Structures are given as structure tokens and as C-alpha cells.
Amino acid sequence: MEEAIKILRDNHYKVTKQRMDLIDFLSNYTENYVPISSVDDYMKSIYPGISNNTVYRNLKEFSDIGLVEYQEKNKTMIKFQCDFDQMHHHHFICSNCGKVIELKACPLSFFTDQLPGCVVESHAMEIYGLCPECAAKK
């Protein structure tokens, strides 16, 4: 929570009660993605008058400053940043339970070596499969 507040302030965002409640909710999702609609429903349960635009705008701003991560496979899922010390990282995502495991290495050089003369501007990588617990059940 302290790191999130610091990131908000460093990026010149006000630390409001609504943003703190949003961060508090999202902090429960560091190992799993949550549907954005669930985030919206939660915020509306606390702030009945809050608009969808306010929730979605804050999530977009949080994404822009690295507080949250969207799932590339389905842009309607979001989770709290799992590693503030390593903002750029990749994930393994369990296809069964949705558990997220952070990958420590980035394979970008493997691909850029195959792209002479190209300028890679961004990339994202997610690996899908079964986590150890779900694999053991099958």
C-alpha cells in the first residue's frame, strides 16, 4: 500500500479515499486476475453514485503508472502489480484456476536477434497452462 501511494504521488496523482479503496480492493489480486466488472461492482457498493467512467479512468491511470496489469488474452481482467521492483516482467497463468506466477527472465533478446534492422517498441508475454496444484488434480 505504501509503495502504491508513493507511485501515485510520484506521478502527481491525488491520494483520494476512492483511489485508496480501489487500491485496497486490487491488492487482494496479486496472484489472480479479477474481472474489471467486479472492480466496478465493488466500487459501486461503497460509492453508489460513482460512474463507470470514473472507475475505468482510474484503472487506466493505474495501468499507465504501473500499479495494475491487464491480462493480454482478455482485456477485461486486471490485477495489482505483483513486483514493484521489477515493473517489466512476464507471467505464467493457470488456465484452470487463474493463478498467476511471475516469470523472472525476459526472452526479448531471443526474438530481437531474429529481427535484424527492426526496432521493437514493446512486447508482452504470457504462458498458459496448469499450475502444480491443478496439474496434480488431473
What would the pLDDT profile of 2-12 be if each residue is shown by its tens digit? 888 999 999 99
Q: Enumerate the known binding-site residues.
A: 88, 94, 97, 123, 131, 134
Taking residues 82-103, what's their average pLDDT?
76
Q: Enumerate the known binding-site residues for Fe cation.
A: 88, 123
pLDDT band (50, 70, 90) for residue 107: confident
Taking residues 62-81, what's their average pLDDT?
77
pLDDT of 69 reads: 83
CATH number of the domain within which 128 lies: 3.30.1490.190
Q: Enumerate the known binding-site residues for Zn(2+).
A: 94, 97, 131, 134
pLDDT of 100 reads: 85
∠ CA 90-94-97, rounded to 5°? 135
pTM above 0.85, yes or no: no
Type of residue found at 120: V
Taking residues 75-92, what's their average pLDDT?
68
Q: Which is nearest to 58 in space by CA: 47, 68, 73, 45?
A: 68
* Residues whose CB falls within 8 Å of the CB of residue 34, separated by 6 or more in sequence, listed in order: 26, 77, 78, 79
Verify that 63 and 96 share a domain, yes or no. Answer: no
Verify that 75 and 117 share a domain, yes or no. Answer: no
pLDDT band (50, 70, 90) for residue 130: very high
Q: Count Cβ atoms within 10 A of the Cβ of residue 31 and give its class: 0-12 exposed, 13-18 middle, 19 or more buried.
A: middle
The residue from 80, 102, 129 where one domain ends is: 80
CA distance 36 to 64: 16
Domain range for 72 is 2-80
Within a domain: 85: no
